[in-house]
Amino acid sequence: MNANEFSKMTGVSRETLEKLERYVTLLEKWQKAINLVSNSTLADVWERHILDSYQILDHFKQPTGTWLDLGSGAGFPALVIAMASDVDMHVVESDQRKCLFMREVSRETSTPITVHNQRIEKIEPFPADYISARALAPLEKLLEYSAPFSHQKTRFCFLKGQDVDAELTNAAKCWKLTSDKHQSLTSKDGSILSLKEVSRL
């Protein structure tokens, strides 16, 4: 998949596509010095990272409000969502170099984000309307991380792999939640897990 194929598939605006193209250029440049993503995924960056992140928006139509992305790494899915929507995006990443990269992408693409260069547990909690994470931790742990930032109407979106059903079963021992599981567009073993009405048992 390339930028044009991504554009045809998703129907993103020209402005958003230009931002995403600049993001990819910066990713490829910085990857030579910092291990931002797995080298094996760079050849198919538009599908493995851009589309993988963008597909979240298929399940959260025109989101607004505060969005918190946990363990953002190189900015997936946070930066892609911020470029394609009007959310107030907050990213959490403990690696200083990855935070520098996200700030550079934010500046170069005029995409406003708030970068928290800290461990999740150390951040002063604030209310988030959406909370996401990609390949960070098991679901039960993600809900623990999210709890201080969530409120009654918070929506959660986690990109998960083949163990998603076991993780849901495990989380249900400690958490009450309503879940929807969607097949990933980019991986036959992947799922997008959408949660709401989350509370401790």
Please give the C-alpha separations between residue 105 and each of 76, 168, 189, in angstroms, as whole numbers.
12, 34, 30
- Separation of alpha carbons 62 and 125, rounded Å: 25
Closest CA to 67 of 22, 119, 116, 139: 116
Q: What percent of the chain stands above pLDDT 90?
A: 91
Is the model's pLDDT at 40 over the cut of 90?
A: no
Show me where the domains of the chain are located: 3-200
What's phi and psi for 60, nearest 5 deg? Answer: -135, 80
Considering the domain delimited by 3-200, tell me its CATH architecture.
3-Layer(aba) Sandwich (3.40)
Cα-based angle 2, 50, 67 (whole degrees, multiple of 5) = 155
Q: What residues form DSSP beta bridges with 183? A: 191
Give the pLDDT of residue 135. 84
pLDDT band at 101 (very low <50, low <70, confident <90, very high): very high
Give the pLDDT of residue 93. 97
Please give the average per-residue pLDDT across 165-183, as a whole number: 94
3-state secondary structure of 152: coil
Could you read off the pLDDT of 41-51 as tens digits, one per residue?
Answer: 888 999 999 99
Helices (H), the chain: 3-10, 14-31, 45, 52-54, 78-84, 96-109, 139-146, 164-171
